[in-house]
Structure 1
């Protein structure tokens, strides 16, 4: 897995697969490129698959300065250039990554051929923003363990997967850098890309997790209604869809990207 130095930050990415359409995987807040370990190998048999650690996550550089969704979009542009992955792209965003993918499309509407939004969170209301600010403060003050009750306990029912898979995801979550995690939460609390939903012109698939208490299916369905011609599907998943329901997710993504 190579790293690049871009925009003052070291960023890790992985490109797999030798042929087929280009697929870009964008992980959730608190996740990393390993969030797609359960789906990337299968996708790379049919597509060229790019996944990466956003700044401050995984093995990308841990930064101390606050950042914006524009910074994250700049990072994505740099990674795509470094990987020499040519458009058009099929893009997958999980949860809060909807903000980044929509910002990328706003900049480059002609570069995205198909879009899959998993439990999308393109913006939050005032109550959720306050919760994100509280989670950020907890993480900085006490570490990631102090946020489990308001994050993982609500978004990842352990019964959805075997215990080992749950413990691995939990371990990666707890290993997040508290300052970077806090900055990501504060950034997302103030980012809003809802205006882009009605402007989307590429085929779009919105997928909801039936057991997602953070973004219940009704919220995802409402988002799908705002997107011209969007298709809405539900699967038996939690908030972290690639980890909690990889087979069901692949069953939707593979034919959608092959169409």
Structure 2
């Protein structure tokens, strides 16, 4: 379904067979809501599951001007308002984890619990150039130029060999991401930094990292847990897209967490 959010036509999928509490999944840079297909199917009988395409990704239009992670947080609250969702459990992966952190800081009363996978709370100065380089490559050479290196960071060789169909879907979404949407998102990630604010988060929090994640080392995700009182950290045998490589293990962790949040 499509809805206009802050002037941007935004695609979302709502699965509410169970009519239970809201559970919102936020995808990674260069992804779309389809990355959550398997996990959404797992939880839809007990939760009202929301997935959406972040601006400039999937079938959501690109922004006409540069934007920040705070703007993406505002997109989410506007979407939740449009759907009459009073609050939600939040699950964000990579870029989605950054949006989830920002949203929790911006709208603490709207967050029932926070789950962050393979993410960080800010870009250190020495890494800012990397985001500029990716943005420039997307604009200059198109998304196809970024696909090989991105997939090698996202998924382990073993997973790629064992699950070619899943890899092809992820590759196709990445390839067809709008170049300008991707580039502006890179610049938003470059400027994101909430490290000094994480102590203000009071909701139950679970963080999950992939042991083989070279793009966002597990220590970055663990640092989020360390900064939030009572937060829990888990390590999975995966690369950057840990919930996708280890969906059963991730689902089990999330299910237990949602039933008995710390």
TM over 0.5: yes
- Aligned positions, number: 257
Q: Does 1:48 align with 2:51?
A: no
Residues 19-74 of structure 1 show CA distances to partners (whole Å, capped at 9, x for unaligned) of: 22211111111111111012101111111111100111010112342112222122
Q: Is the 8 A contact 2:198 2:228 kept in 1?
A: yes
Structure 2 residues not aligned, in runs of 5+: none
User: SS of the residue aligned with 2:257?
Assistant: helix
Q: Is the 8 A contact 2:25 2:52 kept in 1?
A: yes
Aligned to 2:69: 69
Aligned to 1:157: 156
Aligned to 2:91: 92
Offset at residue 149 of structure 1 (A): 4.5
* Correspondences of 1:51-130 after superposition (within 5 Å): 51-87=51-87, 89-130=88-129
* Correspondences of 1:206-245 after superposition (within 5 Å): 206-245=207-246
Offset at residue 86 of structure 1 (A): 2.3
- Whole-Å separation in 2 of the counterparts to 1:165 and 1:99: 24
TM-score by length of 2: 0.93
- Whole-Å separation in 2 of the counterparts to 1:77 and 1:108: 8
Offset at residue 79 of structure 1 (A): 1.0
Offset at residue 131 of structure 1 (A): 0.5
Q: Is the 8 A contact 1:99 1:122 kept in 2?
A: yes
User: SS of the residue aligned with 1:39?
Assistant: helix
- Whole-Å separation in 1 of the counterparts to 2:111 and 2:8: 25
* Correspondences of 1:143-222 after superposition (within 5 Å): 143-160=142-159, 161-222=162-223
Residues 116-149 of structure 1 show CA distances to partners (whole Å, capped at 9, x for unaligned) of: 1101222111222110110110010001121234
Q: Is the 8 A contact 1:3 1:13 kept in 2?
A: yes
